Structure 1
Amino acid sequence: MTEKDIQEITELLSSHKRIAITTHQFPDGDAMGSSLALYHYLKLRGHSASVVVPTYYPDFLHWMPGDEEVTNYMTHQHKALDLLEQAEILFCLDYDQPGRTKGLADAVENFEGSKILIDHHPNPGEFADYTLSVIEASSTAELIYEFILMLNDEALIDANIATCVYSGILTDTGSFSYGSTTYRAHYVAGEMIKAGADNLTIQNEIFNSNSEDRVRLMGYALSDRLTILTEFNTGYISLSIEDLARFNFQNGDTEGLVNYILSIKGISFAVLMLERDKSVKCSFRSIGQFPSNEVAREHFNGGGHTNASGGEHSGSLAEAEKLFRSVLPQYKKQLGR
């Protein structure tokens, strides 16, 4: 983002505007943290702001300040589209292509006002008027903090903004354990605590509020549905619709499950496959330099970061597993065998 861009955005936000904030399908902690942090900031600036999400998001994120103001396209389709149609400015957070917003994609693509993209994924699309893209950033939430600083509004950061930014950084760095955890990530997190974020409460809300069903599902997945492919230093878990129903699956119940596979000594690539209606949702994780996002992009209609990415397969769970196993040999050298 250039100095000229910042000046133009400053001018755009100098008077009251109707603003919509969007993020990717199946929003995670960073998607919701960055969206709600920006929402609170824009409200403090006197704008009419709204957060519109394409799909459901995990129950353990619904405690975040401002959550009650979020509009879900899946349950309120007309309202969601109306908010985008009426907006003068559209913020696109934590996604690199309009297609990542599922049912909102056409509205995002054809939006006639000013579009501002803030994201940390590699190779962002050229669909926005202004783009703040820093792939070295730990999270989009961290970039929301930087964006507020660019507009010389650090003094406006209150406990609500701080809580949301901290939550986004915490979740996208895996509690500050991933390779994306930089000095800057720690610094911004510290500044958010200084501004009023209660780090212990946030930690408990996100990681220590599991239902019994969720814990039992994770136990079942690890004991009965885990496959280790030693020759490729790879492991994967596949869960069918029946598996999920057995444990009363709720959105977010498998969050973090794929990371348990990576904790196994010698495993450098891990995948979680969830069977949904007519498709299979895939989460890819890796350690070191293995490009999980290349596998997601080339074979599962997805993308993301080197060590954390996602994709989807249009077909059955068995077909997704077969496809995954069939492509591994071409990555054998990179996987260290």
Structure 2
Amino acid sequence: MNLEHINALKTLLSLPKKIAIIPHKNPDGDAIGSTLALWHYLKGKGHNAMVVAPNDFPKFLKWMPGAESILNFEKENTQAMDRISSAEVIFTLDFNHLGRVGQMTASLEAAEATFVMVDHHQEPSDYAQIMYSDVRMSSTCEMVYHLLTYLNAEDEVTSEIANCIYTGILTDTGSFKFKSTTSTTHRIVAKLIDKGADNTAIHSRIYDTNSPSRLHLLGCALKNMVILSEYNTTYITLSQEELDQYNFSKGDTEGFVNYGLTLEHIRFAVIFIENREEGILKISFRSVGDFDVNHFARKFFEGGGHTNAAGGKSDASMAETTRYFESLLPQFKKALTL
């Protein structure tokens, strides 16, 4: 974050403000962790702050301190729209394009607040007056910790803030195994534990709360796995019927795509999940090494993200989409088989 924007943010927050804090649609651990961490800090400084999420978030994140205070735009629409329209400052965390908030987009575009973006995804748009964008960061939660240091507030990190930030770093780094995890990441994690982050309990709450139906859904996903050895690629499909059969709830497919990368020689893993309500297939891309799934998702599937983790969508059927996906692979054979 450059000095000009640090000073601008300090000035902006020097007096109590009415603030809305926004994660992306279908918020994950990093989105919820970063927004709640910032919410705890801003409330502690006397601001009238509130997190407004575009829709619900997974059950395994609802233990997080402050989660019960999050406004759900889908379910609490009038209150959420009032909060956005009356906000003097709007923080957007873990996304960098207003299209990532679904039906909230129009409300944010109409807002007259000062926008502050904190995000680590590639190719940010320019809607924010104050920006902290860094694609090298492991997570937005790691960036929130740095943001607090820029605000001279590192000593104000409470156990609630520490638990929220730790959760986002843990989930967005794949439990610290992704390439974006640095020595700085680990030093921050050590400080968070010292400040009260319960690392053992957090890991258990995130990863050890499976329902039988989720494990059965995972079994279905793995049974559907297609391995394309010629391209060191694998993909999983899940239809709406299969989701319904195993009583799918939000967050149940989190991490399924990563199972493909546990196979020897696989460099590219994808999952296609049907969402009949929205009329699309939601797609997650993962890779190892230098194969850029951000570029792949942006070019072919209206998505984007990071070099090794990205998302996209398709309006076509499952059969049409997977055929199209397979048809793309020959042009990337050299990159996938180096």
TM-score, with structure 1 as normaliser = 0.98
Residues 151-193 of structure 1 deviation map (CA, whole Å, 9 limit, x = unaligned): 1011210000000000000000000011111111111111110
The Cα offsets for residues 119-149 of structure 1, whole Å up to 9 and x where unpaired, read as: 0111211110010011111100000011111
What amino acid does structure 2 have at the position aligned with 1:275? E
SS of 2:169's partner is: helix
Which stretches of structure 1, 4 residues or longer, exceed 4 Å deviation after superposition?
Answer: none
2:271 counterpart of 1:308: no
> Aligned partners of 1:280, 1:80: CA distance in 2, in Å?
28
* Residue in 2 that maps onto 1:65: 65
Equivalent residue for 1:323? 324
Partner of 1:179: 179
SS at match of 1:236: strand
Q: What is the one-letter code of the residue matched to 2:294?
A: N
1:319 Cα shift? 2.1
SS in 2 for 1:335: helix
Aligned residue type for 1:202: I
Rounded Cα–Cα distance in structure 2 between residues aligned with 1:302 and 1:55: 19
**Aligned-pair distance for 1:23?**
1.3
Displacement of 1:268? 0.3
2:2 matched residue in structure 1: 2
Secondary structure class of the residue paired with 2:25: coil
Show the 5 A alignment for 1:30-69.
30-69=30-69
Partner Cα separation in structure 1 for residue 238 and residue 336 of structure 2? 24
**In structure 1, what is the Cα distance between the partners aligned to 2:294 and 2:12?**
35
Deviation of 1:61 after TM superposition, in Å, equals 0.7
Please name the residue that 1:228 is paired with.
Answer: 227
TM-score under structure 2 length normalisation: 0.97
Q: How many residues align?
A: 336
What residue in structure 2 maps to residue 262 of structure 1?
261
Structure 2 counterpart of 1:247: 246
Instruction: State the Cα distance separating 1:308 from its structure 2 match.
Output: 0.4
CA shift for structure 1 position 63: 0.8
1:273 and 2:272 matched: yes
2:125 equivalent to 1:125? yes
For residues 138 and 61 of structure 2, the distance between their equivalents in structure 1, rounded to whole angstroms, comes to 19
Q: Provide the C-alpha distance between the structure 2 equivalents of 1:217 and 1:8, rounded to a whole number of angstroms.
A: 48
Q: CA deviation at 1:100?
A: 0.8
SS in 2 for 1:296: helix
**SS of match in other structure, 2:284:** strand
Local SS of the residue matching 1:323? helix
Aligned-partner residue type, residue 146 of structure 2:
E
Secondary structure in 1 matching 2:335:
coil
> What 5-or-longer segments of structure 2 have no aligned partner?
none
* Aligned-residue offset at 1:108: 2.1
Counterpart code for 1:247: Y
Shift of 1:205: 0.2
> Whole-Å Cα distance in 1 between the matches of residues 54 and 331 of structure 2?
35
Deviations 1:12-39 (A, max 9, x none): 1111110001111111110111010001
Give 5+ residue unaligned stretches, structure 1: none
Task: Give the alignment's Cα RMSD to 1 decimal.
Answer: 1.0
Residue equivalent to 1:291: 292
Following superposition, the deviation at residue 111 of structure 1 comes to 2.3
Provide the C-alpha distance between the structure 1 equivalents of 2:7 and 2:96, rounded to a whole number of angstroms.
23
Distance 1:61 1:40 in 2: 16
Q: Distance in 2 between matches of 1:126 and 1:69?
A: 29
Task: For 2:244, give the aligned amino acid.
Answer: A
Alpha-carbon displacement from aligned partner over 1:286-334 (angstroms, at most 9, x marks no partner): 0000011112111111100000000111132222212211211221111
Tell me the SS of whatever aligns to 1:271: strand
Q: Deviations over 1:37-77 (max 9, x none)?
A: 00101010111111111122211111111100111112122
State the alpha-carbon separation in 2 of the partners of residues 305 and 5 from structure 1: 24
Helix, strand or coil at the partner of 1:312: strand
**Range moving further from structure 2, 309-318 or 184-193:** 309-318
Query: Secondary structure in 2 aligned to 1:100?
Result: helix
